[in-house]
Amino acid sequence: MSEQELRKHRCCFTGHRPEKLKIPEEQLCVQLGLEIDRAIEDGFTTFISGMAKGVDICAAELVLERRVSDDRLKLICALPYENFGLHWSASWTSRYVEVIRHADLVR
């Protein structure tokens, strides 16, 4: 498959930070999960996350969960700068580090 064809099968996540969400994080993750499932059904296999707190990390975690049973799926973490995410609260930093650890590619 050419690079242009591969690009048609990629989905990028970026979104609101937790303090700007108008719904609880749990509800957000359920809705995001449904959209990720729909994207997979539509042929998307590579997912790119900006790895910010909130939508980005939640989406990345959901992709990793689905990748366990679908080895076609890939997660790319697109970090804005080195050590991004290491200055947050312990819980967000832990989630960030765990996603990075399991990503297929970090840039």
How do residues 13-57 score in pLDDT, each as one tens digit? Answer: 887 777 777 888 899 899 999 999 999 999 999 999 999 999 999
Q: Express each pLDDT in 96-106 by its tens digit.
A: 999 999 999 99
Q: Label residue 59 by pLDDT band (50, 70, 90).
A: very high
Q: Label residue 5 by pLDDT band (50, 70, 90).
A: low
Assign residue 77 the CATH number of its domain.
3.40.50.450
Write out the residue range of the structural domain in which residue 51 sits: 3-106
Give the pLDDT score at 18: 73
> In the chain, how many domains are there?
1
pTM confidence score:
0.90
**Burial of residue 22 (number of CB atoms within 10 Å: 0-12, 13-18, 19+):** exposed
| Residue pair 45/9 in contact by the 8 Å Cβ criterion | yes
Cα–Cα distance list, 64 to 14, 21, 45, 76 (Å): 16, 22, 12, 11
